A and B are shown apart, each in its own frame.
Chain A
Amino acid sequence: DAKTTQPNSMESNEEEPVHLPCNHSTISGTDYIHWYRQLPSQGPEYVIHGLTSNVNNRMASLAIAEDRKSSTLILHRATLRDAAVYYCILEYGGAQKLVFGQGTRLTINP
């Protein structure tokens, strides 16, 4: 299964944009890039996913590098409720499954 690398932790301020990076240099052409977040004592929550093109939804934007070896999750205006562990995951092309990496713990300062 292809692996992802994320910073262990990041900190940002409320109402500012947040850019969460993810490296996935061994990605193959059919691997989807997924982002999930997990708040304490809850299950992971879907944020966004994409294959090659940048994606936007009501929660966030996903910017995918042209060579697909990295991606960035963008929260346009962080709130305190966005404090969570964010996981960047490759959905392996050969099988429908998500294999989680270590994730980034995001802290939002008021």
Chain B
Amino acid sequence: DTEVTQTPKHLVMGMTNKKSLKCEQHMGHRAMYWYKQKAKKPPELMFVYSYEKLSINESVPSRFSPECPNSSLLNLHLHALQPEDSALYLCASSQDLRQAGYTFGSGTRLTVV
């Protein structure tokens, strides 16, 4: 298995809802990432997990809450989002080695109404 799987592919949520995005990989990668991508812009790094511990938080608002339950799973919990948070949310993983490439999922298209 050489993929990063993200679910759901599409999500519409209200500003008072709580929802979660899920990311899964079975490549034995020990580093996992969340990125946010607005239309026609490059992906922006949000969080980095290394060996199931949060190692980087790029000053992301607390309405986004990441969780890494085990080495294969990465969740992003969403609460009280704003319409401007509508974007493509990408998950990625890599071996915890700097001579490795990163594998990205296809993303979850989130719309906040």
A residues whose Cβ falls under 8 Å from a Cβ of B? 32, 34, 36, 41-46, 49, 51, 87, 91, 93, 95-103
B residues whose Cβ falls under 8 Å from a Cβ of A? 4, 31, 33, 42-45, 48, 50, 55-56, 90, 92, 94, 96, 98-99, 101-107
Chain A residues, CB < 8 A from B48? 95-97
Tell which of A49, A93, A97, A101 touches B101, judged by Cβ atoms closer than 8 Å. A49
Tell which of A43, A51, A95, A102 touches B104, judged by Cβ atoms closer than 8 Å. A43
Shortest Cβ distance from B94 into A: residue: A96
CB distance from A51 to the nearest CB of B (A): 8
- In contact, A46 and B98 (Cβ under 8 angstroms): no
Determine the distance from Cα of A101 to Cα of B106 in the docked complex, in whole angstroms. Answer: 19
- In contact, B107 and A95 (Cβ under 8 angstroms): no
For the residues of A in contact with B, the DSSP-based class is: loop
Chain A residues, CB < 8 A from B96? 96
| 14 pairs from A and B in contact (CB 8 Å cutoff) | A34-B102, A41-B106, A43-B4, A43-B92, A44-B43, A44-B90, A44-B104, A46-B102, A96-B50, A96-B98, A97-B56, A98-B33, A100-B42, A103-B42
Other than the given A93-B98, A99-B45, A101-B42, 11 more pairs (CB < 8 A) read A36-B102, A36-B104, A42-B107, A44-B90, A44-B104, A46-B101, A96-B31, A96-B50, A97-B56, A98-B92, A100-B44
Chain B residues, CB < 8 A from A102? 42
Determine the distance from Cα of A93 to Cα of B99 in the docked complex, in whole angstroms. Answer: 11
